[in-house]
Structure 1
């Protein structure tokens, strides 16, 4: 148990929230909270900041891992400054529980004048990984579909590549996104055909390709007017799958393939220019 007497009230209350103080000090702080409205208001803000911070960090831990980071770990020794910062930050969160909360609460106290202000501030300052996780929920469905259909031998696609004109008309009308089937022979991929999927309750077009080694790649897209309209590519990895997503012209796109494939972003850039 910690002894926090003599420290700032924020520190003492943070230790109280964590249950890291002795019984005598706990009783003292509870008596203070019962009689002092200012101390009680500070306690509530610290508690709200703690809950929000824990949730945001938990979401961050469940975000897809960037492909570049995974490949760097696989391909060579040494730790990049970026990787070292992530490792150090994780260790700090595990070992130091009080001061991060005090810092977060202090920032919240500067930004808000009351509980309502805190809620607005929290909503407007969610970390970028959290935003990306919320915006890319459909990619989880696509990853699940890809794992199932890529193992199919006789029923890999719904409509074969020989009916390419029909595929373009059918999927464009079903999904609401006009497109042209990218020719990716220069990337070593042969077009096999297409499927119509559903993700986040919306129809999704899937164009399926096969490499010379028999690996299955796919281009998936759906109509989307929410989320950032940007040509920036977002690489991530989900277990054995690599994914590169982007948004353009009111639609969301993703290229899916084996996580071991090192040219995923280059492939996505080729697809974006052709589709």
Structure 2
């Protein structure tokens, strides 16, 4: 009987000691609900913030391999395209990576504008439908980012960058027309 009481007190002591020894200053991870309402614009803004702003762009294909770029785009979203070049606004192509947009694969292309700011062009194979009607260039601002997009017959093209960049609608239209 005495050994059982001793074991019980030992177990209680270990449990109390373990709970008291936890580091209360440890950083806590924010638990985001999966049921939080998001749309594709939130997805492109989140990707831009994570992979473009805080870090150097993480790319699957660099700027010096156009054949690998074309193969990645064809394999990922089933579209034949070359790296879009722009006359002004986004002159330096830095690479591309595969992303998830609205639960579907997409491509994020990284560019730098003349001021050195990072811009991203997102391309997603999304056919026109009653839910995805063909549009002219649309624009919205989310926090400090401008998102300009164009929904065409077979693709959605969106350009994301600093809200201070007034060329975003022109870049979205130019990117779409180069497909």
Query: Structure 2-normalised TM-score?
Result: 0.70
Q: Which has the higher strand share?
A: 2
The corresponding residue for 2:92 is 190
Query: In the alignment, does 2:172 pair up with 1:172?
Result: no
Name whichever structure is richer in helix by fraction: 1
- 2:119–2:160: 8 Å Cα contact kept in structure 1? yes
The yes-or-no answer on 1:208 pairing with 2:101 is: no
Correspondent of 1:246 among 150, 154, 174: 150
Are 2:46 and 1:144 aligned? yes
- Structure 1, unpaired ranges of 5+: 1-133
User: Cα distance 1:245–1:154, how it changes in 2: closer, same or farther (>3 A)?
Assistant: closer
What aligned pairs does 1:1-275 form with structure 2 within 5 A after superposition? 137-225=39-127, 226=129, 227-275=131-179
Number of corresponding residues: 141
Task: For CA contacts below 8 A with separation 6 or more, give which structure has more relative contact order.
Answer: 2
CA–CA distance in 2 between the matches of 1:224 and 1:146? 20
Report deviation, 1:201: 1.8
CA distance in 1, matches of 2:79, 2:156: 10
State the 1:212 CA deviation: 2.8
SS at match of 2:88: helix
Structure 2 contact 150–173 (Cα < 8 Å) conserved: no
Tell me the SS of whatever aligns to 1:150.
helix
CA deviation digits over 1:90-145, x for unaligned, max 9? xxxxxxxxxxxxxxxxxxxxxxxxxxxxxxxxxxxxxxxxxxxx9x9112111001
What SS does the aligned partner of 1:212 have? coil
Aligned 8 A contact 2:137 2:169 in 1 = yes
Alpha-carbon deviation of 1:177?
A: 2.5
In 2, Cα distance between the equivalents of 1:188 and 1:179? 18
CA-to-aligned-CA distance 1:37-81 (integer Å, 9 cap, x gap) = xxxxxxxxxxxxxxxxxxxxxxxxxxxxxxxxxxxxxxxxxxxxx
Distance in structure 2 (CA, Å) of the matches to 1:170 and 1:188: 21
Task: Point out where structure 2 has 5 or more consecutive residues left out of the alignment.
Answer: 1-36
Q: Give the TM-score, by structure 1 length.
A: 0.47
Cα distance, 1:228 vs structure 2: 3.4
Deviations 1:200-256 (A, max 9, x none): 221011111012322011111212234334241110000111011111122211111
